[in-house]
Structure 1
């Protein structure tokens, strides 16, 4: 019987997994995950994602064992380790999910060359981590869409492939060595409220969401206190859920809620097709505005206040504290936190993107970097000079102050919308708020500075 290797990367599931389906047909299979030294060295292996990853690997191994198989884990250079496993098992082919980052493209090229030198084949599968393949829909004049709305129109018309069932059995060759699975318990400095990872958890969440939450998504997705989003982003990042399956199943539910949810999944694909075409956008302005950002040294006190949730603007502080506690942040909170740093404080978006990647369990290069650029006005936003007012936004999306009260306990005694402007209190009422700070910048001052920097004054 021939042997195939399936290299799992950001696709840690058994359901709807094209590489595993292709490899598992009349073959023995080595399900392989490599703890990639390059990812560790680049600083992407942060505690929250390592802890969630450990959950995912344990769950994947458990699912494979129920089917007669097991997960093989190695550490080191990913190309070297794949080639070692292929040589040990005399595998003639390796299956891999396609990805869009510059590193993923480099990994694919290196792996293909190394395997072909040994007489083995590499098969790269599309629509494993996206619903629609990056580059499948393009405008007439470019290799990618730079504006979401026309992209979404074409994306919506693409026929999706069928959703694949999980395999019933997986036969792994005897004697393939594996390291011990990593454990969440062995990882320090993990956010206290970090959610559980793994396909079992993901599918349970999906079923509950499709039965209930998705129907109200259009009306409630910006409700900060209501916490009415799907929270699927970590599972999509690690691939414990299939975007193809999510879109297919959401489309079976009637109403504006599912339509709005599918639109958000399309945004995810949109960012991937941008990054696939312009990999430099992970670190460089997609559309430069020739900003002369405040230096990190000059803005160091403001940056620290922003990171620790002590800007004096309660909704921004609540969002940043949620990030630290959960390793996750509500999408509306992300927009407000990013606007405040990049535009009100006029700090380089890369500073904020790096901090988010340090903590976010769903820290994803395409979504994180390009959403930051969108909010900083250097990305694909068609209104690059928009500035979100944190007070106005807080009164709109947290009208009773419940979100702020949850994450900024110093202000819990304040009732209603007054919680969003504590600096307006006087005397003993202000003194009663413990050590909650005054605003680190007047909004009018931040807006004037930004307009001047962009030549809009």
Structure 2
């Protein structure tokens, strides 16, 4: 076979890349292709932070290919049409693609496969490129997917894993294949000031450093807000600059409780993908309805805006929301707390919060984002749908000295613990010194009572969804 095309999507790396490895084995020349899919842009998922990170990833991928004698080919437009053009230009006989399981990815694959068939070109789709265990590999006896994580994880952990592949030494690209200029981060507006750098090279350096010095503390420290002991690898896993298979195997070689806890988080990532593969509408509809009638009043709008701006009067909530705006990323415990606060304490539709997160999160992955929001809202796979996280109790547990809170809420920099988590309890001159920090927008007891009444079905009739745009777009995994 003379020429193959490797279509990169959420797998922007050279190490452990089965589609590229297979194409190089079968063909003398390969076209490494990335298509800026206009359908993704039209659906509203081209958020500035992800576009900037993507620009880094594409530049790094191109540099890696050039070191090996190749280059990245970039096109923009309808994905199937653009791939078809490259096939026609080069006479390629195969297109290799990493499997994706969202509704959008399935439609894209069907459209691409049908077009390639008319061109006499075969589409080969590769599993376990962006997952450790492919959706549908393990299923319970009575269903097409697991709805509970623990039994899924038990089966997941027993599955054999493929051996990670090394990066290729040489990549030969046919001459004359045209490419658009690569995007540049500096030309993208609206990017969070402290957004991390993208690309396989920084990803691999970060993974190695974290396995060396952070993995051992992960089990005990991953919920420590002030300690910031998470891996921060989620953006790289989302864009595929790291292989989840390689991450699991390298962690397990290190061994220990920290490795087991980290691998469990990667199993959660696969769990959400197998749920979304079986129930693609869960990206926008309740997985399990609680018959919620979410608040949509003017006061609900004000509460939502205060939540967005980090001005709720609950310091740990405000700290997490400000971190999101500044970094395009949020600590995992902060994500749980802010989601619980919006959906349970303020009783605002989870889709509104999920959409706002997707507008900023560099790791904004539909499967993880939407299904974690549903888990916290009690409409997803959580077996305790009415659990409510108390932000004060949680802050005292996971940020006992107020390090995280003061880092992101400078108005409280001089407030000592435990008042840093309950500044409304300060009196006199101490309270006056922080008069630019708001009082709580809701009493926690009142919010809890309202939530319980709503779940008991004693609130008003359903009303239109709150938010700048409805979450009715197709589920898209490869968010650029």
Asked if Structure 1 and Structure 2 have the same fold, meaning a TM-score greater than 0.5 normalized by the shorter chain, the answer is: yes
**1:440 maps to what in 2?**
441
Question: In structure 2, how many angstroms separate the alpha carbons of the residues matched to 1:298 and 1:435?
Answer: 21
Question: In structure 2, how many angstroms separate the alpha carbons of the residues matched to 1:357 and 1:100?
Answer: 19
1:165-200 deviation digits (Å, cap 9, x = unpaired): 000000000000000000000100100000000000
**1:356 maps to what in 2?**
357
**1:167 maps to what in 2?**
168
Deviation (angstroms), 1:431: 1.1
| 1:393 to 2:394 alignment | yes
SS in structure 1 of the partner of residue 7 of structure 2: strand
**2:378 maps to what in 1?**
377
1:298-342 deviation digits (Å, cap 9, x = unpaired): 411000000000000000000000000000000000000000000
Deviation (angstroms), 1:203: 0.2
SS in structure 1 of the partner of residue 386 of structure 2: coil
**1:15 maps to what in 2?**
15
Deviation (angstroms), 1:255: 1.1
Question: In structure 2, how many angstroms separate the alpha carbons of the residues matched to 1:95 and 1:381?
Answer: 37
| 1:189 to 2:186 alignment | no
**1:75 maps to what in 2?**
76
1:40-97 deviation digits (Å, cap 9, x = unpaired): 1111001000000000000000000000000000001101000001100110110000
TM norm structure 2? 0.94
TM norm structure 1? 0.99
**1:51 maps to what in 2?**
52
Question: In structure 1, how many angstroms separate the alpha carbons of the residues matched to 2:294 and 2:457?
Answer: 16
Question: In structure 2, how many angstroms separate the alpha carbons of the residues matched to 1:296 and 1:209?
Answer: 46
Question: In structure 1, how many angstroms separate the alpha carbons of the residues matched to 2:124 and 2:297?
Answer: 44
Deviation (angstroms), 1:254: 2.1
SS in structure 2 of the partner of residue 339 of structure 1: helix
Q: Are the counterparts in 2 of residues 199 and 241 from structure 1 also a CA contact under 8 Å? A: yes
Q: How many residues align?
A: 457
Unpaired segments ≥5 residues, structure 1: none
SS in structure 2 of the partner of residue 6 of structure 1: strand
Tell me: higher relative CO, structure 1 or 2? Use CA pairs within 8 A at least 6 residues apart. Answer: 2
Deviation (angstroms), 1:209: 1.1
SS in structure 1 of the partner of residue 13 of structure 2: coil
Distance 1:142 1:453, change over 3 A: same
Deviation (angstroms), 1:101: 1.0
Question: In structure 2, how many angstroms separate the alpha carbons of the residues matched to 1:28 and 1:83?
Answer: 17
| 1:94 to 2:95 alignment | yes
Q: Are the counterparts in 2 of residues 296 and 347 from structure 1 also a CA contact under 8 Å? A: no
SS in structure 2 of the partner of residue 208 of structure 1: helix
Distance 1:206 1:278, change over 3 A: same
**1:62 maps to what in 2?**
63
Question: In structure 1, how many angstroms separate the alpha carbons of the residues matched to 2:417 and 2:22?
Answer: 57
Question: In structure 2, how many angstroms separate the alpha carbons of the residues matched to 1:170 and 1:382?
Answer: 49
Deviation (angstroms), 1:426: 1.3
| 1:333 to 2:334 alignment | yes
**1:114 maps to what in 2?**
115
Question: In structure 2, how many angstroms separate the alpha carbons of the residues matched to 1:431 and 1:417?
Answer: 18
Deviation (angstroms), 1:434: 3.8
Question: In structure 1, how many angstroms separate the alpha carbons of the residues matched to 2:212 and 2:403?
Answer: 26
| 1:312 to 2:313 alignment | yes
Q: In the TM superposition, what are the counterparts of 1:19-418 in structure 2 within 5 Å?
A: 19-25=19-25, 26-295=27-296, 297-418=298-419
Q: Are the counterparts in 2 of residues 400 and 416 from structure 1 also a CA contact under 8 Å? A: yes
**1:5 maps to what in 2?**
5
**2:476 maps to what in 1?**
none
Question: In structure 2, how many angstroms separate the alpha carbons of the residues matched to 1:248 and 1:116?
Answer: 37
Question: In structure 1, how many angstroms separate the alpha carbons of the residues matched to 2:202 and 2:383?
Answer: 37
Deviation (angstroms), 1:345: 0.1
Q: How much is the aligned-residue C-alpha RMSD, in angstroms?
A: 0.9
Q: Which runs of 4+ in 1 moved over 4 A?
A: none
Question: In structure 2, how many angstroms separate the alpha carbons of the residues matched to 1:153 and 1:336?
Answer: 27
